């Protein structure tokens, strides 16, 4: 895990995680408000549900993990600005998109420094992903609606996860042509997500096809196929990774088939298929590894982790089925299940640590 972080840096890391937790909680409650379940949260944060979870939560976590990997004090500027943006969003301040843009630009600089240290395919892909994010956030700050910036957010997260999985693929034999194919697919993801945000047709259908092919690559060549046979945390992480890839495949097929509809049930299905099915599943899979490294807190594996993971995917299946079938109640119950899954996962992490300390 490397040398122990200085006290001030460790305090900063944990403080940023607290902001992330507040952003996640508010984003989830806002989502329930949008579904008509927590009515009081709807008017206040209805339009901030996506930015709070996608940028304030997931984006800040990725920036924090990258800052820890770089190991330089200035690298923490990216997650710090992300946290500032989240707090600004919570406070209803109009300049929060500019803070998100500044965070993305700092992440570009951070990833560029990592590329200078280790210029390999996966570090270049992370740099490319952060550049896509910065361009999308800049458009959002200049007045784009969330539905227009969303393709770049999809591009950033898929690129980042693909890069991390590509890094791990070095631990298992992968044909060279397959590695080259993944790099090509990831590059096309960046291109189509930017073109989609700019309204170039048929970029979103092409993005969907590329997402589906990328997911198929993961299902065939990802290291998770091997670690699935190992008990404990490796099997749990592999389960989350492969389930996430399955959702990316289905969402990609949906986008390629129906195209990008910036409102309504298909929009809901596409966004949650990526950000809940793919991104949040990956967060569940890697949290027992990343959280201890970032917060310097021991969190052992527990079979309890499978409960929230199961609830997450069953809830998402219900939500997307409700979207596609036009059954609002099914969509609502799916949304509630996703919120419950996130809460259960946090409780299972805390519970595993508490039981171990006892």
Nearest to 170 by CA among 131, 213, 123, 232: 123
Which stretches of the chain are DSSP H helices? Answer: 7-34, 41-45, 49-51, 60-70, 77-90, 96-117, 121-141, 146-168, 176-197, 203-221, 224-227, 233-258, 265-272, 281-295, 306-325, 328-357
Q: What is the pLDDT of residues 276-319, one digit of tens each?
A: 999 999 999 998 888 888 888 878 888 999 999 999 999 999 99
> Structure tokens of 240?
């989350």
Give pLDDT, residue 353: 66
Q: Is residue 5 predicted with pLDDT exceeding 70? A: no
Higher-scoring residue by pLDDT: 295, 98: 98
Percentage of the chain lying above the pLDDT 70 cut: 95
As a whole number, mean pLDDT of residues 243-272 equals: 95
Q: Is residue 2 predicted with pLDDT exceeding 70? A: no
Give pLDDT, residue 1: 39
Count CB-CB contacts under 10 A for residue 88: 18
Nearest to 51 by CA among 95, 15, 86: 86
Query: What predicted TM-score, i.e. pTM, was given to this entire model?
Result: 0.93
Nearest to 282 by CA among 171, 161, 166: 161
Give pLDDT, residue 55: 94
Give pLDDT, residue 39: 67
Q: Is residue 75 predicted with pLDDT exceeding 50? A: yes
Q: Any idea what the Cα angle at residue 208 is, between residues 168 and 322, rounded to 5°?
A: 105
**How high does pLDDT run on average in the chain?**
91
- By the 8 A CB rule, do 41 and 32 touch? yes
Q: Is residue 41 predicted with pLDDT exceeding 60? A: no
Give pLDDT, residue 44: 62
Model confidence at 62, in pLDDT bands (50, 70, 90)? very high
Residue 285 to residue 295: CA distance in whole angstroms: 17
Q: Is residue 321 predicted with pLDDT exceeding 70? A: yes
Residue 222 to residue 227: CA distance in whole angstroms: 10
Q: Is residue 154 predicted with pLDDT exceeding 70? A: yes
Which stretches of 171-305 are DSSP H helices? Answer: 176-197, 203-221, 224-227, 233-258, 265-272, 281-295
| Most confident range, picked from 130-134, 230-234, 300-304 | 130-134
Give pLDDT, residue 4: 44
Peptide bond before residue 202 is cis, with ω within 30 degrees of 0: yes
Model confidence at 100, in pLDDT bands (50, 70, 90)? very high
Q: Is residue 358 predicted with pLDDT exceeding 70? A: no
As a whole number, mean pLDDT of residues 241-267 equals: 95
Q: Is residue 226 predicted with pLDDT exceeding 80? A: yes
Q: What is the pLDDT of residues 82-95, one digit of tens each?
A: 999 999 998 989 99
Q: Is residue 9 predicted with pLDDT exceeding 90? A: no
């Amino acid at each position: 895990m490397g040398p122990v972080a200085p006290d001030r840096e460790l305090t900063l890391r944990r403080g940023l995680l607290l902001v992330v937790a507040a952003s996640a909680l508010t984003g989830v409650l806002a989502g329930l408000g949008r579904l008509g379940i927590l009515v009081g949260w709807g008017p206040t944060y209805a339009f901030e549900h996506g930015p709070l979870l996608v940028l304030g939560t997931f984006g800040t976590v990725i920036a924090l993990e990258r800052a820890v990997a770089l190991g330089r004090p200035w690298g923490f500027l990216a997650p710090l600005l992300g946290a500032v943006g989240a707090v600004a969003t919570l406070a209803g301040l109009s300049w929060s998109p500019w803070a998100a843009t500044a965070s993305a630009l700092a992440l570009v600089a951070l990833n560029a420094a990592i590329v200078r240290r280790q210029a390999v395919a996966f570090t270049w892909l992370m740099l490319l992903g952060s550049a896509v994010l910065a361009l999308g956030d800049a458009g959002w700050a200049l007045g784009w609606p969330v539905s227009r910036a969303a393709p770049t957010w999809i591009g950033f997260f898929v690129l980042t996860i693909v890069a991390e999985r590509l890094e791990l693929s070095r631990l298992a034999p992968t044909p060279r042509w397959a590695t080259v194919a993944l790099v090509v697919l990831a590059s096309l993801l960046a291109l189509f997500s930017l073109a989609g945000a700019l309204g170039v047709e048929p970029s979103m259908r092409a993005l969907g096809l590329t997402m589906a092919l990328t997911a198929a690559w993961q299902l065939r060549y990802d290291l998770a196929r091997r670690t699935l046979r190992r008990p404990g945390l490796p099997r749990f992480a592999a389960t989350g990774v492969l389930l996430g890839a399955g959702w990316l495949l289905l969402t990609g097929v949906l986008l390629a088939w129906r195209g990008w509809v910036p409102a309504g049930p298909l929009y809901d299905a596409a966004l949650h298929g990526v950000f809940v099915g793919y991104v949040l599943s990956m967060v569940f899979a890697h949290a027992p590894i990343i959280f201890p490294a970032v917060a310097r807190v021991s969190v052992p594996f527990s079979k309890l982790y499978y409960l929230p993971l199961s609830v997450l995917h069953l809830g998402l299946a219900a939500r997307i089925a409700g979207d596609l079938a036009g059954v609002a109640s099914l969509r609502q119950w799916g949304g509630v299940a996703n919120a419950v899954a996130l809460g259960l996962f946090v409780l299972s992490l805390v519970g595993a640590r508490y039981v171990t300390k006892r």
